[in-house]
Chains A and B, each alone.
Chain A
Amino acid sequence: MLLMSVWSCFFGQDEEDGTETGEGDEWMQGKTLIKPLDQLDLTEAELKEEFTRILTANNPHAPQNIVRYSFKERSYKPISSVDQLAVHFVLEGNLLHQDSDEARRQRAKQGDVEEGGGEERADSVESKAGKKEQKITNQFNFSERASQTLNNPLRERGCQTEPPPRANFSATANQWEIYDVYLEVLQKQEKNKEKAKAVPKKDDDKGKKKMMLVETQSDDITKVAKVAKIIERMVNQNTFDDIAQDFKYFEDASDEYREQEGTLLPLWKFQYDKAKRLSVTALCWNESYKDLFAVGLGSYDFTKQGRGMLVFYSLKNSTFPEYIYPTTSGILCLDIHKHLPYLVAVGFYDGCVAVYNLKEETLQPIYKSTAKSGKHTDPVWQVKWQKDDMDNNHNFFSVSSDGRVVSWTLVKNELVFTDIIKLIIEIFDNVCRPAACGTSFDFHKQIDYLFLVGTEEGKIHKCSKAYSSQFLETYNAHNMAVDAVKWNHFHTKVFISCSSDWTVKIWDHTIKTPMFTFDLNASVGDVAWSPYSSTVFAAVTTDGKVHTFDLSINKYEAICQQPVVAKKKTKLTHIEFNPVYPIIIVGDDRGYVTSLKLSPNLRKKPKEKKGQELPKGPEVEIAKMEKLLSLLREPENSNA
């Protein structure tokens, strides 16, 4: 309506200026403007009103007040922006860009169809030549072609066989079974290696094969040996349970009340039936196996000389010895090698020396000295192992009544002897006395070449391995034969000696007179230093008593004097301290060996002042002894 009115306004103006427009327009002439009936009547002011027209890009047909329900605000909300796009015309085309995916796919298909096109039938070539696309099945004219083939009738064929033999197998696969198998395989491999090396020895193999057969046929009881030993020890442990407990744990509580005295607690008693008439002539602990000790049996009686025995006992079995070696002559001394616990040196009454190897099955010694090879002509009183010589051969020394100190070396299969020193008595009145009889000796713990020899005349000679004819020093020790002479384990200058003249003397080897002298009222058979203290030692006498001294507690008397054998007539012959446990073994002349436990008072270590740490080690022991000796030396020096 508005548009029409606008156009009429213009025409209206044209009417007024009609004369200017020209009279040439034919269609304009002859027409007079007809005012429509429904035309708006506007005043002149209204007619002159100017209306501005704006050209916008808004779509006039687009609704401007669309309202949508917003669930978030639960109310109707007008949409602010409305799409102003007015679509006038749509035509879908079928052009594809040549590099797009679809174009490539179509080109690929066309390529396939063109390749396989040659094999097609004649009538389809024409149709397909034009088409480059594959025929795709569609819903309208797709037909499936199938055909039914003949099914062959099914036949089953089978045959039955004998079932394989079955056996039930069950085992456990534990960690240890696997480990055992591995070990076996390893051993087999090693055996194979050895066989490969020993192939040229065919005769030996044959001999071995025979041996193998014999072993399997023999009685099976021999394999129970080890187990039987264990059981025997267990049975003994049960029987002697209280002794075993005492050995391990008992400490005499009453020692606290007895200031300076101690006691000896009897433990096991060792005896062997066949050794009843023999007396114990030697005792030795084994350094490596602390519960094993050796007992030499023989006789001190000159008139009753017969056979002897070497017997080994273990503390774990007190009823029967571990090893038994009968000998033709009585044993007088023995020594076990410090580092090789299976080598034992033995000295006999008939002057021979022998070496036994405990590992061997035989009862014979592996080495024995004979008359040709320099055996002693008199009983051998002491043997002692030495360190291996420069050729790594084992060697030991022996001392005998014939006055010789001999060194024996184990060279391969024989015993080679070397005279080290000959003991001679000083010449009095130009009369050459026969050689003195050595009855005991001991080697210094630290100084290798230094040793002491005690003689039957009661003298002690200090000798060196280097000098064969001269003594370094002679001490007039006793009035009767020196039965034992022993260096102190800690202090390097001190040694002890005992004799049948009822005395025990302690010496400093630099001084010619004894430091201490003890009278024990009976012939002293043996004396031994304790391995744990430099001032404790024990002595045994023929009246059946064990005397224990501790010089740091009491310098004049024994702190323990105890009879240890039942019958008073038995004489005690030897005593040894165990290197580790607080026990001593005592041998007597009836073939018994008694073990005793030392009470705490006998094992006292020096007490330091409170607050200071207890110094440990051998230095303490040396210092203790030194202190005692210095007390004695000073008055002597002042007297001299």
Chain B
Amino acid sequence: MLPKAEVEETLKRIQTHKGVIGTIVVNAEGIPIRTTLDNSTTVQYAGLLHQLTMKARSTVRDIDPQNDLTFLRIRSKKHEIMVAPDKEYLLIVIQNPSE
């Protein structure tokens, strides 16, 4: 399988997974490039989580520069927001785990 097709399939599987509300792919500048939610929500999530991830990553790396952030989970009353950062991208998934 082409790596591109594989990635597309993985993203599709995540989107159709049980309990997943939405998926957003954000680039390095904080601009969402792919989303399953509406525009305003996407922009809001992208902006806020981008900043939070940068802060979290900075914290982890400040303590030990050889370490790096793998993922960030924010569990709230209603659902769980999962953020996985990459060198250039950010993948955000909102899931309702109890569903």
Contact = CB atoms under 8 A, between A and B. Distances in A.
A231 B62 contact: no
Interface stretch (A174-182, A351-359, A377-385): A174-182
A132 to B, nearest CB: 79
B86 interface: yes
A363 B10 CA distance: 18
Nearest to B61: A176
Contact of B14 (A172, A219, A231, A241): A231
Contact of B3 (A175, A225, A227, A230): A225
A319 interface: yes
A480 to B, nearest CB: 42
B4 A320 contact: no
Interface centre among B7, B27, B34, B88 (most CB of A within 10 A): B7
Interface residues of A, number: 32
Given A230-B71, A234-B84, A238-B19, A224 B7 contact: yes
Interface in A237-262: 238-239, 241
A435 interface: no
Contacts of B82: 231, 234-235
Given A231-B71, A232-B14, A234-B93, A172 B58 contact: yes
B8 A235 contact: no
A580 B75 CA distance: 31
Interface string A216-230: 001111111111111
Contacts of B88: 220, 223
Interface string B1-44: 10110111011011001111000010100000110000000000
Contacts of A8: none
Interface of A is mostly: helix
A222 B10 contact: no
Contacts of B85: 227
Contacts of A239: 17-19, 97
Given A175-B62, A234-B73, A221 B7 contact: yes
Contacts of B11: 224, 228
A359 B85 CA distance: 24
A379 B3 CA distance: 34
Interface in A286-344: 319-320
Contacts of B8: 221
B4 A175 contact: no
A239 B4 CA distance: 26
B66 A220 contact: no
B77 to A, nearest CB: 15
Contact of A176 (B10, B62, B86): B62
Given A223-B86, A224-B25, A229-B10, A175 B93 contact: no
B89 interface: yes
Contacts of B65: 175-176, 178-180
Interface in B57-99: 58, 61-62, 65-66, 70-71, 73, 80, 82, 84-91, 93, 95, 97
B80 A238 contact: yes
A386 interface: no
B33 A232 contact: no
Contacts of B70: 230
B76 to A, nearest CB: 13
A236 interface: yes
A361 B5 CA distance: 13
A222 B86 CA distance: 12
B27 A220 contact: yes
Contacts of A227: 84-86, 89-91
A245 to B, nearest CB: 13
Contacts of B33: 220
A220 B88 CA distance: 9
B96 to A, nearest CB: 9
Given A222-B3, A234-B84, A175 B61 contact: yes
A619 B7 CA distance: 49
A433 to B, nearest CB: 48
Contacts of A175: 61-62, 65
Contacts of B87: 223
B91 A174 contact: no
Contacts of B6: 225
A228 B7 contact: yes
B30 to A, nearest CB: 15
A230 B82 CA distance: 10
B40 to A, nearest CB: 23
B10 A228 contact: yes
Contact of A174 (B4, B58, B93): B58
Contacts of A219: 4
B20 A235 contact: yes
Given A239-B19, A319-B17, A231 B89 contact: no
B61 A231 contact: no
B18 to A, nearest CB: 5
A179 B27 contact: no
A240 to B, nearest CB: 10
A226 B18 CA distance: 21
Interface string A190-228: 000000000000000000000000000011111111111
A231 B20 CA distance: 11
A309 B13 CA distance: 21
A126 to B, nearest CB: 88
Interface centre among B27, B91, B95 (most CB of A within 10 A): B91
A222 B91 contact: no
Going nearest first, the 8 A-B pairs with the smallest beta carbon separation are: A176-B61, A179-B65, A176-B65, A238-B97, A227-B84, A227-B86, A228-B10, A225-B7
Interface of B: 1, 3-4, 6-8, 10-11, 13-14, 17-20, 25, 27, 33-34, 58, 61-62, 65-66, 70-71, 73, 80, 82, 84-91, 93, 95, 97
Given A222-B4, A319-B13, 20 more contacts: A174-B61, A179-B65, A179-B66, A218-B4, A220-B27, A221-B34, A222-B7, A223-B87, A224-B11, A224-B91, A226-B86, A228-B7, A228-B11, A229-B10, A231-B14, A232-B13, A234-B82, A234-B93, A235-B17, A241-B97
13 contacts: A172-B58, A176-B58, A179-B65, A220-B27, A220-B89, A224-B91, A225-B3, A229-B10, A230-B84, A231-B91, A234-B73, A236-B17, A238-B97
